[in-house]
Chain A
Amino acid sequence: MQINNKIKVAIIGTGNIGSDLLLKIQKSNVITCGLFAGRNADSAGIKLAKEIGVPTSFDSIGAIEQDPDCCEIVFDATSAKNHIEHAPILKQLGKFVIDLTPSRIGKMCIPVINAEEALCSQNINLVTCGGQACVPLAKVIMDTHPETTYIEIVGSIASKSAGAGTRANIEEYMQTTKQALEKFSGVPEAKVILVFNPAEPPVLMHNTIYASIANPNIQLLKENIEKMAELIRSYVPGYRITYGPIVDRGRVVITVQVIGSGDFLPFYAGNLDIITCAAVQMAEDFAKKSLKNKLYE
């Protein structure tokens, strides 16, 4: 891999997610941040970008339209509503888009499940943090016990880690997570619950998965779940099964915690971390492919 020949990316949205991406990209040896654009000149993210010498703009997507060569890959970390406007513009500019809002415009992507397939799309959607954390386990459950009738996932995130965008998009969050849960696992009936926990000090991102399975093989489930968790840890280091699978009152229960990498927000913000980790993973995969193609050009 050519270290000096990194693929340029742009980030739109300078809130929690955008800022966390910015810091993660600094560590990458295949991608580099060519533009950090938002609308809010006073954001902590903008200050941070200036400090580390990344070009900034307050013209949001306008900055990419004016200088399309600033990037090959665009991360959209604004809101579902904004991405509806951004998607056609970015398509026309021929950018590979990694959408971190729950807009559901692009191809839904959970790296551990469909990274390769997703790389063939021009716009990929990273579902939601709850989707990234729980859908792979739901898939394991369905693969192990196809007769499962119902899966429910409960995400509990620290209030402090939920920015304005997340709060304004709860409806989209819920619908997108549910759709991903149904699509990737194939479970006949699914339910999603999201709880904001205001506790101080903030609690770690915490997910519970319930599954209605008539006669669960707990030993087999446990093995398969641990295997999946190991795969996820390859790109989300703080991902861990905290307990289960256990059978409690006729249902299978698994809980998962994600300890954040502590890049932009502290360790409790695993919800942020899991989706930015997934985004960077996908960008790096795309960049590696792109660099390889360039070598043969």
Chain B
Amino acid sequence: MNNIRFFDSTLRDGSHAVSHKISAEQIREYCENIDGAGLYTVIVGHGNGIGASSHQVGFSAVSDFETISIAKQALKKTRLGIFFIPGFATIKDDLEPAIKLGVDLVCVASHCTEADTTEQYIRYLNTCGKEVYGVLMMYHMTTKERLLEEAIKMQSYGAQGVIIMDSAGASIPLLVSDTIKHLVKNLKIPVGFHAHNNLGMAVANSLIALENGATIIDGTLRGFGAGAGNCQIEAVVTVLKKMNIDAGIDLYKLMDVSDNVVTKIMKKPQEIDSIGLMGGLTGVFSVYALPIKRAAEKYNVDARDIYVEVGKRKIVGGQEDMIVEVAIELAKKKQLSNIN
């Protein structure tokens, strides 16, 4: 396990957990303190990537451009990264201005079977001379063979690495080892893993990914993130330290930022509640935890039933509207069965 690179998604994935209400001051404080800790890149912006601030997935308290400007000022040693999902944002309105503001690295993401939607963007970023990585979300929804096909597409477009996202925290260890092994063996570019903690497996699964040849770990400090949260970077670094593997990270610095800065951004400690477990069980995107809770309360139905139903419909990213529809349907059914 050499040359492990940590992609820090604390501010990005964490933004989901606080309904995208991270303040300018919090962004500045985080970036100033994490700078130079040895993380490969700090990724900022809306949880669904830059340009995604919307009614559909929630409005950011601070615009992406302001966020990028603040982070650029604060990050002197660490690369400034952004996340980008085709369909949520455009080159013209989002990517081009972001690059002008000094972004160093971009992760271009798609659902695990839709890599061809990233071609236009990965190629564009290559011509801009930016470091660019492909991201395949919700990887548990397809096979490792199909995943490889999609990853090869990203490689051919010019991605410098491919990160596999367990967006629903639905992985069992065997799935991680099997998938990563298959990708590492057949790809020329580095492979990364982004875990969610729905089944309490985020750190363990990230280590399994490393053991099977992944070299990029995408996680967050304190596990701050959507739903049950993410892979806690400082925990992985600590385990590696205990295994006598030096990842080139200033562990104390991570711990300090985690204790003193991230806890102030978080509304509550990251925990795995029954909703989180249902997400891992049914394979529903972690970012839907809040919208599902909200819909369950509003329409007075069991959130777990919503999970099961949207899981059946194979909901993917950006379909917050489907949750409300399902909740309304469940409420109608409930009403009918009460009458009968």
Contact = CB atoms under 8 A, between A and B. Distances in A.
Max count, chain B CB within 10 A of own CB: residue among A175, A208, A242, A251? A208
Nearest to B112: A198
Given A170-B120, A193-B56, A208-B56, A199 B313 contact: yes
A191 B90 CA distance: 11
A175 B88 contact: no
Contacts of B111: 159, 196, 198
A193 B88 contact: yes
A14 interface: no
Contact of B87 (A164, A194, A253): A194
Interface residues of B, number: 33
Nearest to B313: A199
B90 A195 contact: no
Interface in A152-210: 152, 154, 156, 159, 164, 167-171, 174-175, 178, 191, 193-200, 203, 206, 208, 210
A32 interface: no
B102 interface: no
A254 to B, nearest CB: 10
Contacts of A178: 93
B55 A170 contact: no
Contacts of A169: 120
A248 B120 contact: no
Nearest to A211: B55
B20 to A, nearest CB: 14
Interface in B70-119: 86-93, 111, 113-114, 116-117, 119
Query: Which applies to chain A's interface (DSSP): helix, strand, loop or mixed?
Result: strand
A168 B120 contact: yes
A174 B90 contact: yes
Contacts of A174: 87, 89-90
B130 to A, nearest CB: 16
Interface stretch (B181-189, B259-267, B318-326): B318-326
Contacts of A128: none
A152 B58 CA distance: 12
Given A195-B316, A196-B111, A208-B321, A171 B54 contact: no
B328 interface: yes
Max count, chain B CB within 10 A of own CB: residue among A178, A198, A212? A198
Contacts of A168: 116, 119-120
Query: Which applies to chain B's interface (DSSP): helix, strand, loop or mixed?
Result: mixed
B127 to A, nearest CB: 14
A203 B317 CA distance: 14
Contacts of A197: 314, 316, 319
A255 interface: yes
Interface string B110-139: 010110110111000000000000000000
B235 interface: no
Given A156-B319, A167-B116, A200 B314 contact: yes
B54 A191 contact: yes
B141 interface: yes
A195 B318 CA distance: 7
Given A152-B56, A175-B92, A198-B113, A170 B313 contact: no
Nearest to A196: B114
Interface in B302-340: 313-319, 321-322, 324-325, 328
A52 B84 CA distance: 45
A171 B314 contact: no
A154 B313 CA distance: 18
B119 A171 contact: no
Given A152-B54, A255-B321, A198 B114 contact: yes
Contact of B56 (A199, A210, A243): A210
A253 B317 CA distance: 19
A196 B117 contact: yes
B117 A167 contact: yes
Contacts of B89: 174
Contacts of A171: 86, 90-92, 120-121
Contacts of A242: 325
Interface string A233-249: 00000000011000010
Nearest to A197: B316
Given A175-B90, A194-B87, A196-B316, 4 more contacts: A152-B54, A170-B120, A178-B93, A195-B319
14 contacts: A152-B55, A164-B116, A175-B90, A175-B93, A196-B87, A196-B111, A198-B314, A199-B315, A199-B316, A203-B313, A206-B322, A243-B325, A248-B324, A251-B55
Interface of A: 152, 154, 156, 159, 164, 167-171, 174-175, 178, 191, 193-200, 203, 206, 208, 210, 212, 242-243, 248, 251, 253, 255
List of 3 A-B pairs having minimum Cβ-Cβ separation, nearest first: A210-B55, A199-B314, A194-B87
